[in-house]
Amino acid sequence: MQSAALEMLNLPPLRSNPFDTRPLNREQRELLVGRTDLFTAIANSVRLSSPRIVAVVGERGSGKTSLVQVVASTTDQIHTVFWPSKDHVTTILHQMYCDLMRDFETPAVHSVMIDRLEEELSGRTGLLPMVVFDHPHLSGPDLAEVLTQLLPVLTRMRALTLITLTPGQKSGFPEELLSELDVTPSLEPLNRKEISELISKRVQKASRSSWTPPSLLLDWVMDESGGHVGRAMRYLRDIVDHTRGMPLIDGRSLNLKIGVNPKPSTPISDETFQRVAGASPSIAEVTVEVSEELDSDISSEGDFSTGITLFHEGEEEPLVAETEQIIANRSEYSEVSQNIPQSSDSGVSQNISQSSDSEVSQNIPQSSDSRV
């Protein structure tokens, strides 16, 4: 099952594992995914020379450091604060002075050092320099204490200061300090589309060929990581190593499953047919009975009146054959009556008439149908 699942991925040949769990560096701006709007907003501060102090909030592994590094690619000068083990405020001030002023002979008096730093940065033109505080291992109160003491210096500098914070660290910041910062919304996990974009960009860079991740792989990544960037990258790294036959260092085993979920049949609703069928009248089978009734006063020409009656299905059918025989006999009677000569002897005439009528009547079959 594991080998079958990996074969379905159909990964292209890779020069190296593209899913490096290290943060992006300044030369990997094209690999940033899902943070475009925030990147643009912060980078505009650098481009438009708008000094400020920004706190980028997000869970560990959500991509805060990668975002900061990519923003740093938009400026000419960046200083990343190295957290000292003691005398935090003084040591950090010396670091910033040496790096931003490019002068390793720092003034002995702090106020003089701060004034020179402010004057130098204010006289520059062009892109803003950046100062970065990225210390996810520190507690919120410890970080807040040092930043509170450095805040008067940071607000006077013509620079963009970026501070990365986890939600836990942010909760340890006093409201007075947070009110002095531009705090971003917490970075959200990547959605399925963004995970697909992340995979495609990484694989393309490592293989020099385009490749679209299959839905099966996206299902695995979303189930395993929930869109968390750090967990997704580690999981993808392990999958690529597994395809190369490398066992996982921590002894874990990948549980790659192929799920087959049959889709229910889709009912077809033909609305056009339904409208036509609804508008059509109901079809009922009918039969036609032809009956002829002899007028009470038969003319000498033998005319008969003809009527047509419709019988619905289920009613008794008329005796069509008997009706036709009656019509034929009465036609014969009419012809006989016309051929008899008129006699003055009423008795003879009556006898002949009665005789002929009797013979004709005997030839008419008796029908059991009372209607006929």
313 part of a folded domain: yes
- Ranked by mean pLDDT, which of 72-76, 209-213, 260-264, 355-359 comes out on top? 72-76
Tens of pLDDT, residues 134-157: 999 999 999 999 999 999 999 999
Residues 178 and 293 in one domain: no
More confident residue, 92 or 2: 92
State pLDDT tens for residues 43-53. Answer: 999 999 999 99
Name the most confidently modeled range: 149-153, 205-209, 301-305. 149-153
For residue range 151-191, list pLDDT tens digits in order.
Answer: 999 999 999 999 999 999 999 999 999 999 999 999 999 99
Is 134 within 8 Å of 164 (Cβ atoms)?
yes
Instruction: Report if residue 348 sits inside a domain.
Output: yes
d(CA 51, CA 42): 11
Residue finishing a domain among 183, 205, 233: 183
pLDDT on residue 281: 52
pLDDT value of position 352: 42
Please say if the pLDDT value at position 3 is more than 60: no
Q: Which residues contact 160 (CB under 8 A, 6 or more apart)?
A: 42, 45, 46, 50, 51, 52, 54, 75, 128, 129, 130, 131
Residue-averaged pLDDT of the chain = 78
Between residues 312 and 256, the one the model is more confident about:
256
Domains identified in the chain, total number: 2
> Are 159 and 41 contained in the same domain?
yes
How many CB atoms lie under 10 A from the CB of residue 139? 12
Question: Does the structure show a pLDDT above 50 at 290?
Answer: no
Domain-embedded: residue 255: no
More confident residue, 293 or 34: 34
Of 57-61, 152-156, 245-249, 296-300, the range with the lowest mean pLDDT is 296-300
Q: Which two tokens stand for residue 75?
A: 């400026």
What is the rounded distance in angstroms from the CA atom of residue 364 to the CA atom of residue 275?
55
Do 177 and 65 fall into the same domain? yes
Pick from 134, 150, 144, 135: nearest CA to 177: 144
User: Can you give the pLDDT at residue 342?
Assistant: 52
pLDDT at 261 over 50: no
Q: Name the residue among 204, 174, 199, 171 with its Cα closest to residue 186.
A: 171
Q: Which is more confident, 336 or 348?
A: 336
Q: Is the pTM of this model over 0.75?
A: no
Residue type, 26: R
| CATH number of the domain encompassing residue 46 | 3.40.50.300
Domain span at 85: 35-183
Domain boundary among 167, 183, 199: 183
308 in a structural domain: yes
Instruction: Assess if residue 334 is contained within a domain.
Output: yes
Identify the helix (H) or strand (E) that includes residue 196.
helix 192-207
177 lies in some domain: yes
The DSSP line for 90-147 is HHHHHHHHHHHHT-S---SSHHHHHHHHHHHHHT--SSPPEEEEE-TTS-HHHHHHHH
**Whether residue 288 has pLDDT greater than 80:** no
When pLDDT is cut at 50, 70 and 90, the band that residue 128 belongs to is very high
How many CB atoms are located within 10 Å of the residue 191 CB?
12
Between these two residues, 367 and 234, which has the higher pLDDT value?
Answer: 234
The residue-averaged pLDDT of 18-30 equals: 93
Q: For helices 192-207 and 229-243, give the axis angle rounded to 10 degrees.
A: 40
The DSSP letter of residue 296 is: S
Last residue of a domain, one of 148, 183, 218: 183
Confidence category of residue 125, pLDDT binned at 50, 70, 90: confident
Q: 288 forms bridges with which residues in the sheet? A: 310
> Is position 111 within any domain?
yes
User: What pLDDT is recorded for position 118?
Assistant: 93
Which tops the pLDDT comparison, 171 or 9? 171
